[in-house]
Amino acid sequence: MRSAAVASLLAFSLLSARELRAQWRFGVGAGIVAIRGASAPTTPGDSVTVRPYGPLAYGADASYTAGVWQGRVSAASGISGLSVGTGDLFVVDRSGLKLLLIEPTVARRVAVTGEHAAAWLEAGPSVHVWYPTGADSRLRIGGVVAAVWRQRARGKADSTVRLFLSASPSPFEASDLPAAYRPSTLWRFGVTFGVDRSL
């Protein structure tokens, strides 16, 4: 009887460890990003904008799921720089500004479709570390919200589509901008496509 009890305990421990591993997921992704804000003219009607440039982003993430809740940490970077322009005409300096983005978020599953598809709502802080050329790095902390669609792709792998919106303080100091401009809230929004896999 003792041997049977030990064997049962061992089997339960192995099963629990396997289930815990299955809740951890690691993934990579890339996306299209639009940036607005960061500076604003002090003169009404001025249409010239000065803002960071970053149409593409790529990164990696780790997540843990418990029931309908999920904790996730992601790190991302990508094409970056500065843009100055008006209307559809912009001048871009790709060496002027770099961005490292770190986002620890919490998500809740809000809908399930079929056996292997679900929708999630996600929110959390958005940590921006900016690296201006020739200057010290600048830390800005804002927030992010997202809607995520997750679909089983193959085996233990899922594909994801993430629509997001984040807001944070401007990476600019007042001394960085022309006299007719002031720092304003930076807005980032876009869509990312990813693949992740459980252990």
Among 62, 196, 187, residue whose Cα is nearest residue 128: 187
Q: Tell me the pTM.
A: 0.82
Which has more pLDDT, 14 or 169? 169
Q: What CATH number is attached to the domain comprising 184?
A: 2.40.160.20
Which has more pLDDT, 157 or 1? 157
Number of domain units in the chain:
1
Does residue 96 lie in a domain region?
yes
Does residue 15 lie in a domain region?
no
Does residue 7 lie in a domain region?
no
* Per-residue pLDDT reduced to its tens digit, 148-176: 999 988 888 999 999 999 999 999 998 88
Does residue 136 lie in a domain region?
yes
Domain of residue 103 covers: 24-198
Q: Provide the β-strand partners of residue 39.
A: 183
- pLDDT value, residue 17: 41
Does residue 19 lie in a domain region?
no
69's CB contacts (< 8 A; 6+ apart) are 106, 107, 108, 109
Query: What DSSP element (H or E) covers 17?
Result: helix 2-23
- pLDDT value, residue 135: 83
For residue 3, is pLDDT > 60?
Answer: no
- pLDDT value, residue 182: 92
CA 134/CA 197 separation, integer angstroms: 39
